[in-house]
Structure 1
Amino acid sequence: MGRPLFRLSVWVALAALSLPIDDAQAQGRLSPNKKKEGESADYALRRAQAFHDLYAGSEEKSEVANAKRTFSARTIGQPAAIGRPLPIYYPSVNRDAKLNALTAGAPAVRFPGSTFRTMTPGAPPQPGIVWRNLGPTNTAGRVSSLAVDPHDPKTIYRGTAGGGLWRSRDGGVTWTPLTDSLGNLSIGAVALAPKSKPEDPQVIYMGTGEGVVAIDGIDGIGFLRSPDGGETWDLPVSVSATKFFAINVHPAKSMEVLVATSGGIQKSTDGGKTWATKLANVYGTDLARLPGAPQTVLATVWDVATANQTGRGFIYRSTDGGDSWTKVAGAGLGIFDAEAGRMALAVSISKPGVAYVLAASAQGDSKDCRQDPVDQTGVYRSEDGGQTWSFRSNPITGSCDADGHDSILGGQGWYATAITVSPTDPNVLVAGGLDVWRSADGGGSWTKQSRWHEEKTSPTYSHADIHAFAWAGNRLLIGDDGGVGTSSDVARSFSRLDKGITTKQYYSLGISPTDRDLLIGGAQDNGTDIRIGASAEFLEVIGGDGFAVAVNAKDPKVLYGSVYNSRIFRSTDGGKKFSEISPKYSRGERRPFITPLTMDPNNSSVLYTGSHLLWKTADGGTTWSKTSETDLADAFGGNGYLTKVAVASLNSQFLLASASNGTVKLSKDGGASWTLQTGLPGSYTTHVEFDPKSLDVFYATYTASSPGGLVYKTIDGGKSFTRVDRGLPRVPVHVLRVDPKDQRILYVGTDVGLYRSTDGGAQWDRYVKDLPAVSIWDIAILSDRSAMRLASHGRGFFEIKLP
């Protein structure tokens, strides 16, 4: 199947975030030199949990703990402490406050869409004035939604997880960003309003906030409208929902819109200015109108919006355009599996009345297989417009053994579920989750058509994790974790449409003082990438989710990358070959999903990583040892894991370690002993940083769910801390760097862009405002201070010349 190297029990994987990892399972070796490696379903679920730790406040964490217990109580044979926690709404984030922060100082309600035309690789750098995008332009990041102009199938709109909305007018050969000037670049759904004449301006409806529950999906600022094809945008006055799964526009009434959101099914009759909730206390996951009968609408909903969530999915039907709804099918009703979960919808254009549903499992594992879960309960069909349904099939092959299962959704129907019907044949279906599958008999039988683990040049390769389908005439478009794929033969073969677009989601970057062109970074579900020369193209060198990276300061051919579970890889030939060099962790260690890795700024042979314990190598990774047996995540209830490690440039014996539960500790003897830092919030600490010119000055940063501030500073070696976040929007801060020339100048990367302080943190302002409001996860300043580079989670890498 191509996945065994990544297999880990979902239940054990979840437990690993708060319980020790079973080393016998978790230490299976992945093959880093095969670019085909990708992310399996179990790790996608671990990623969701890791980001829950990152973003959830104490109230939500209590709800998740209750959800775990409730879910486990009805999960046969699973330990009560490690059931699958289901997605929840995060009330600790004030949605309208976030909207106000992002639009503060706006001269008008209408914003220009794409004023930043310089945001493309190759733009000439101008010191302190213009950001230059460094790519990659040959690969892309996650796509959540697709839309095609019905009058011109070459005009395609791509909504991305963190890089905004893009448009192509030549069938996907070239792309233009439409939303770089907006305050949020997380797109959940996009739809086009009908036009009276093809030459009329195109009205675009867009829901910000990606419709996923993986939590690295950034919450949005509501529903936006463009009256002119994306040139300008009307901003909302309030946030109707923070996650959008689908938008459906009445074919004859361009102002009548239905949306499926984290706030339920909502309706607007004035183009999105005002909304009425028609189905509440659920997540709406899909919408479909019956062709020729636009007042008849089908909706799928997911019971994950309340503390008593079940994870079950249901189908509702409306005959009055969405004003009232009747539950017609779903979990435990009629022929539907009692544990049917999240659902995706599709209706036939060529035969009105025919509709299909692809259903995941509320349990997350319909086969009770810890080794290789199957999050799928089947495909269902209606021939009377959704009034009645019949079971068609549940395509699952293999067994719960060394070979594992093969199914449409794999173990992650909760994350990636999509289905569509051929526009010319009501019996030809295409479905996607982990791979693309095809049926020619109305869902009765299925054939797997794509293989995510194949080489990218193979005609059967399509990137894993499929979120959206759209038809451009008879050509199928596929939105997935790697961008957009396409098929001209109804899913028999595939190619990519990811050239010239920069939407990769990076967690980290590494640079070299001796090779200015070198750039390496770890990306979401797209491995670890290395820049090819001075170009905007990158080469993927390690698969799966790429996290922290490092570059030997004296020898740029020595590179380091990482994947989940604090697994470390090294190359000594400039990235041609990587070998795993991970420490030999003990079975009981709590290893993080987002791997920390820090190189000593004074000695490139010394690196740190860890679990709840700190591991050190003094020989570039050949051997590792623990600095001590001190639990670095034992405060605030314990059971945390390392998030970041900092080494002081003035004295390498000074170390800082931060943890997921808010623990921050300081060592002055290279990690042999540690002192807990008090006076800081007890919540996920995203970053710690030493001042390069004073051992007494250091910083800690936090997410928006912190009960206190976002940035804290000490000037007395940790005896006391001061909150220094005035001017920052109430969104997560992921990283902080101190200017090497002037320690009064600080930079922080947030979920909505880069901010700078010129007075040691007393006041913050957005830095060089032509940078899109994209999530920034890492910052690197070249040693000669000639330039600063950013790793963004949605728009690749950026560079600016420092004044």
Structure 2
Amino acid sequence: MKKLLKLAIISMLSFNVLILFAQTPQYFKDLQTKKKISTTSVNWTNVGPGMSGYNEIYYAHPTDPNSMYMSLDMGNAYYTHDNGLNWTTIKDWDTDGEKGRTMDADFSRQNPDFGFALDASGKLMVTHNRGTSYQWVSSWPGSKKHSCITVDPNNDNNWYVGSGQFWRVKKMHRSKAKLHGTIPLSGTEYGHIYISKDKGLSWKKITDKFNSDLDVAKIFVDPKNSDVVYTFTNYGFYKSTDGGYTWARKGKGLPYNLPRDGGIFFNKKTSEVSLYLVEQTNYKDNGKGGVKTSGGVFKSIDGGENWVSILGDLPFDLNKINSYDNTVRYYKTLANWFSISINEAKKRFPNKPAFTYPVFNKLVISKTNSNEIYLSSNVGHDKSFGPDLWVSKNGGKHWEVCLRTGAYWVNKTDKEYWKSRNQPLGMNAKFAHLHKEKTEAKVSSSVRMLFSKVNGEIITGCGQQTLRSTDQGTSWQQIHDDETTPGSGAWVGRGGSNLPGHDMLLETGTSQYLLVTGEHGLWTTTTGGEKIKPDAVAVKQLEGQTQGNTKNNKHSSSVAAVAVHPNDPNTLYILSFRQSNRGAFRKSTDGGKTWKNISQPVSDSSKLTNSIEQKDILIDKKNPNNIFFIVPLEDHAPWAKELRMINGRKTKREFEVGVYRSQDGGYNWEVVNKGLPKGANVFRLEMDPKNSKILYASVNRPMDKSAKGGLYKSKNSGNTWSKVKIPSEIKSVNHFSINKKTGTWYLSAGEGIGEIDAGGTWISKNKGKKWKKIFFMPNVFETYSSNVDSNTILVNVQMGHKIKNLNPGVYFSKDGGTSWTKANYKIGQPARIMTLRPDIKDANVFWLATYGSGFYRGIYKPQ
């Protein structure tokens, strides 16, 4: 830190490098020691597609039908106060954005602006503005994750919090051997309920008669009597008659009393309180090569003392719907339940049951009609099979599959059987860019959340989109995108993106920009967004779900990098880091309409390797047959402890790391690392804008510090590399760029766990002979200057553990680096910015990609 206070030029003779320290040391001292508030002069707009990831947790305001909230699996959380037309992040953009993901919340019935929420890290938060923002509750005694929170509808002094992680469906599987779930899960508290009788000022821990690994699904306070409280847990249904201080296990009529979910309905006209419970489905060997299914759905109208079945006609004949994508999932379900292999399950139970039903994990009662009941089973992430969303409109007598997607329903397969059950046929859901895939694919839709709004609308998640039904499940519409013109395939997101934004390419040879994503392919910006909103950016998918799959050519969902042929903007190249075409070099000659793999430069056949990071496809403008990209030793992982992860496996890696080169247009490849440090992490690659034979490799020091980092240069298209002299305090170079107009060099350095002075941004105006440090933070990920106005500089700051992860995100300068402004306003995950770029046409427009909230366009307007 002493160096920050020196306004002097220090000569470093051993490297012949000069470092001139910035003229504003106090600004950077403040950045490193206290929270800095972002300017509102940069207006960021979330660029679609909306959603595009799993909706983990959804809840709606109990009295305001326009206010909804969602917590998504990429670590973000959003609210809407206009019924889903616009979504805004709940998280504090002036922190690292890693905390504040709401996992459950409830709001006062007396004061709709007042509520509490549970954070994913285990903290409790309070809101006084209807969930727009939250503050930490200092009186909260919990230290780890909890499952649910409930307010007394009669008195908002009374609050209840249940322990556990009941709704973590990917991990919380039950079996005959583990009837109460695969617990404990790390970072979680079990075995109790917290009570507050003073609006959260103090809390009392209740463990009365509870098992030490009690996992709580839901808590309800009786609408007629605040002393009566109900809870559904992994050990059964419990009831309290003294405001939650003592509990008794109830369940007469329940075969197992192992709830998977529960619900409550208060009929204001009759004053009747109804409780609903869905049991853990059990499977028993029937001794005849098959299984007997038991469990079901139950209702109580006497406060949970007695329960009656409302399973009705839901059980189905598995033999009659064999083509429903059931066989594999059915045997996976049995294998899990009996703790045997899938092959053993097939041998032991060759006869499929004529009377069965899946493992349900969600139950919802319409907030306006007690006879309208929904059941879901997450066949994608739980251990279940068959149709995964059902509705009964008559209190459980008759059940229908109410979410129907995929070729099975489009083709009306097994039509006669379903007609005999009085079951509607045909697909009944409309999606955005996923519609083609959902029409053609298998029917499993992975319903991970289900909720009824106060006005009776039903919300569910189907795959990676959120759907709404306003007609009792007869039809469903996605709620996160608007199409510019019907059938155009151009979408404007509503701000609730859950997309792993990966990279961007702004210099495409056209007026459109290319957006690179994980799980949703390659996108191009397009026209028509202004039809939806004045500042909207419309996007259209070039490669991904809209392409469909053929036997010999599957689309790429997770794109690692993109490039455009310098002489032909219709010729595009991509690499994929996971899923289909992982590590293949893929080419389109018709602007992205069709694609094919032309080579496989990177491959790893091991199932242990989920993804292979690849970056920076560069093409020689004078000789386009020369193409380069890199495979880092370690890839950027903003959620990881050191913000790095080993690329692929640590041992027996089948692919090489470093710089890849093709000299025949991408058909054949070689690794050209001669002169680069052995074992180092080649993290980024840059081509000199005036001489395409000159390349620059930004090299990180690996996490184990077994090799040195630095900046390396090749003057001969990668044949050999030599070290560039840079300031000695730099241990890892994250990024290097050159301004096309001025030729100024920008070097970004630092590590997540590195020393403070080893990070920052340095510039050189004489090709590395002298360096000037213009930005002081321990972990600067990227620096770009505008080619329109070189005085506009953007800096992407990642977390630095030595300064307690303070103030990551976007910084810009409009005076060449003399002064800086933080600009995270309404960016929900500022520590997960994967790239930050100035627009190539307007120096007041910025673009960024985040790993979890998709893409943003920012427009700077001086205040």
What interval of TM-score do these two structures reach, taking the shorter chain for normalisation?
A: 0.5 to 0.7
8 Å CA contact 1:550–1:561 kept in 2: the answer is yes
Of 603, 613, 621 in structure 1, the residue corresponding to residue 657 of structure 2 is 613
Of 222, 225, 231 in structure 2, the residue corresponding to residue 298 of structure 1 is 231
2:439 aligned with 1:456? no
Letter in 2 for 1:559: L
Of 771, 779, 800 in structure 1, the residue corresponding to residue 859 of structure 2 is 800
Cα deviation for residue 747 of structure 1 reads 0.5
SS at match of 1:509: strand
Letter in 1 for 2:388: W
Counterpart CA distance in 2 for 1:494 and 1:501 is 18
Q: How does 1:552-591 map to 2 (within 5 A)?
A: 552=565, 554-563=567-576, 564=578, 565-587=582-604
Structure 1 residues 726, 561: closer, same or farther in 2, change over 3 A? same
After superposing the two structures, state which structure 1 stretch, 603-612 or 527-536, moved more. 603-612
- Residues 150-203 of structure 1: CA deviation (Å, up to 9, x unaligned): 44545433445555432244x44555666676744863334332323xxx5432
Cα deviation for residue 598 of structure 1 reads 0.8
2:79 aligned with 1:166? yes
- Which residue pairs with 2:43 in the alignment? 131
- Which residue pairs with 1:253 in the alignment? 155
- Residues 60-93 of structure 1: CA deviation (Å, up to 9, x unaligned): xxxxxxxxxxxxxxxxxxxxxxxxxxxxxxxxxx
Counterpart CA distance in 1 for 2:723 and 2:328 is 45
- Which residue pairs with 1:267 in the alignment? 194
- Which residue pairs with 1:229 in the alignment? 130
Counterpart CA distance in 2 for 1:547 and 1:620 is 21
8 Å CA contact 1:529–1:539 kept in 2: the answer is yes
Counterpart CA distance in 2 for 1:136 and 1:205 is 30
Counterpart CA distance in 2 for 1:474 and 1:408 is 35
Counterpart CA distance in 2 for 1:557 and 1:782 is 21
Cα deviation for residue 625 of structure 1 reads 0.9
8 Å CA contact 2:480–2:496 kept in 1: the answer is no
8 Å CA contact 2:362–2:375 kept in 1: the answer is yes
8 Å CA contact 1:645–1:657 kept in 2: the answer is no
Letter in 1 for 2:278: Y
Structure 1 residues 744, 456: closer, same or farther in 2, change over 3 A? closer
- Which residue pairs with 2:276 in the alignment? 354
Aligned residues: 621
8 Å CA contact 1:205–1:224 kept in 2: the answer is yes
Per the normalisation by structure 2, the TM-score is: 0.56
Cα deviation for residue 356 of structure 1 reads 2.3
Structure 1 residues 276, 480: closer, same or farther in 2, change over 3 A? farther
- Which residue pairs with 1:432 in the alignment? 378
Structure 1 residues 685, 190: closer, same or farther in 2, change over 3 A? farther
After superposing the two structures, state which structure 1 stretch, 380-389 or 546-555, moved more. 380-389
Of 820, 834, 837 in structure 2, the residue corresponding to residue 777 of structure 1 is 834
Alpha carbon RMSD of aligned pairs, Å?
Answer: 6.1
Letter in 2 for 1:755: V
Structure 1 residues 237, 299: closer, same or farther in 2, change over 3 A? same
Counterpart CA distance in 1 for 2:309 and 2:756 is 53
Cα deviation for residue 244 of structure 1 reads 6.6
Letter in 2 for 1:788: F
8 Å CA contact 1:527–1:542 kept in 2: the answer is yes
Structure 1 residues 326, 566: closer, same or farther in 2, change over 3 A? farther
- Which residue pairs with 2:467 in the alignment? 485
- Which residue pairs with 1:83 in the alignment? none
Counterpart CA distance in 1 for 2:247 and 2:685 is 53
Counterpart CA distance in 2 for 1:149 and 1:336 is 30
Counterpart CA distance in 2 for 1:710 and 1:802 is 33
Of 476, 489, 512 in structure 2, the residue corresponding to residue 518 of structure 1 is 512
Give the unaligned 5+ runs of structure 2: 1-30, 166-186, 267-272, 284-292, 338-358, 382-386, 411-429, 482-492, 530-536, 546-556, 632-654, 800-806
8 Å CA contact 2:63–2:109 kept in 1: the answer is no
SS at match of 1:195: coil
Counterpart CA distance in 1 for 2:819 and 2:282 is 45
Structure 1 residues 626, 547: closer, same or farther in 2, change over 3 A? same
2:836 aligned with 1:788? no
Of 593, 597, 617 in structure 2, the residue corresponding to residue 599 of structure 1 is 617
2:452 aligned with 1:471? yes
Cα deviation for residue 537 of structure 1 reads 2.0
Q: How does 1:235-246 map to 2 (within 5 A)?
A: 235-237=136-138, 246=148
8 Å CA contact 2:221–2:230 kept in 1: the answer is yes
Cα deviation for residue 777 of structure 1 reads 1.7
8 Å CA contact 2:87–2:494 kept in 1: the answer is yes
8 Å CA contact 2:812–2:823 kept in 1: the answer is no
SS at match of 1:655: strand
Structure 1 residues 587, 512: closer, same or farther in 2, change over 3 A? closer
- Residues 482-526 of structure 1: CA deviation (Å, up to 9, x unaligned): 442113455454211113511223423323336574222233543
Structure 1 residues 456, 201: closer, same or farther in 2, change over 3 A? closer
Structure 1 residues 695, 648: closer, same or farther in 2, change over 3 A? farther
Identity %: 13
Of 168, 174, 191 in structure 1, the residue corresponding to residue 105 of structure 2 is 191
Structure 1 residues 175, 587: closer, same or farther in 2, change over 3 A? closer
2:748 aligned with 1:689? no
Cα deviation for residue 227 of structure 1 reads 2.0
Cα deviation for residue 205 of structure 1 reads 2.9
Cα deviation for residue 251 of structure 1 reads 2.4
- Residues 434-467 of structure 1: CA deviation (Å, up to 9, x unaligned): 3971346879999594447898376976995543
Counterpart CA distance in 2 for 1:483 and 1:401 is 21
Letter in 2 for 1:789: W
- Which residue pairs with 1:405 in the alignment? 329
Q: How does 1:275-424 map to 2 (within 5 A)?
A: 286-289=217-220, 295-298=228-231, 317=238, 319=240, 345-349=261-265, 352-356=274-278, 385=304, 404-405=328-329, 419-423=362-366, 424=370
Structure 1 residues 556, 685: closer, same or farther in 2, change over 3 A? farther
Structure 1 residues 316, 630: closer, same or farther in 2, change over 3 A? farther
8 Å CA contact 1:290–1:347 kept in 2: the answer is no
- Residues 677-696 of structure 1: CA deviation (Å, up to 9, x unaligned): 9999xxx9994435668999
SS at match of 1:247: strand
8 Å CA contact 2:153–2:221 kept in 1: the answer is no
8 Å CA contact 1:547–1:562 kept in 2: the answer is yes
- Which residue pairs with 1:206 in the alignment? 117
Structure 1 residues 771, 296: closer, same or farther in 2, change over 3 A? closer
8 Å CA contact 2:116–2:127 kept in 1: the answer is yes
Counterpart CA distance in 1 for 2:792 and 2:671 is 32
Of 485, 491, 496 in structure 1, the residue corresponding to residue 478 of structure 2 is 496
Cα deviation for residue 246 of structure 1 reads 3.7
Per the normalisation by structure 1, the TM-score is: 0.59
- Which residue pairs with 1:747 in the alignment? 795
- Which residue pairs with 1:548 in the alignment? 561
Counterpart CA distance in 1 for 2:306 and 2:675 is 58
Cα deviation for residue 734 of structure 1 reads 5.8
8 Å CA contact 1:378–1:391 kept in 2: the answer is no
8 Å CA contact 2:584–2:602 kept in 1: the answer is no
8 Å CA contact 1:143–1:479 kept in 2: the answer is yes
Structure 1 residues 698, 421: closer, same or farther in 2, change over 3 A? same
- Which residue pairs with 1:532 in the alignment? 526
2:768 aligned with 1:768? no
Give the unaligned 5+ runs of structure 1: 1-99, 117-128, 210-219, 302-313, 338-342, 362-376
Q: Which structure has the larger Rg? A: 2
Letter in 2 for 1:254: D
Letter in 2 for 1:797: Y
8 Å CA contact 2:459–2:467 kept in 1: the answer is yes
2:148 aligned with 1:148? no
After superposing the two structures, state which structure 1 stretch, 526-535 or 346-355, moved more. 346-355
Q: How does 1:66-77 map to 2 (within 5 A)?
A: none
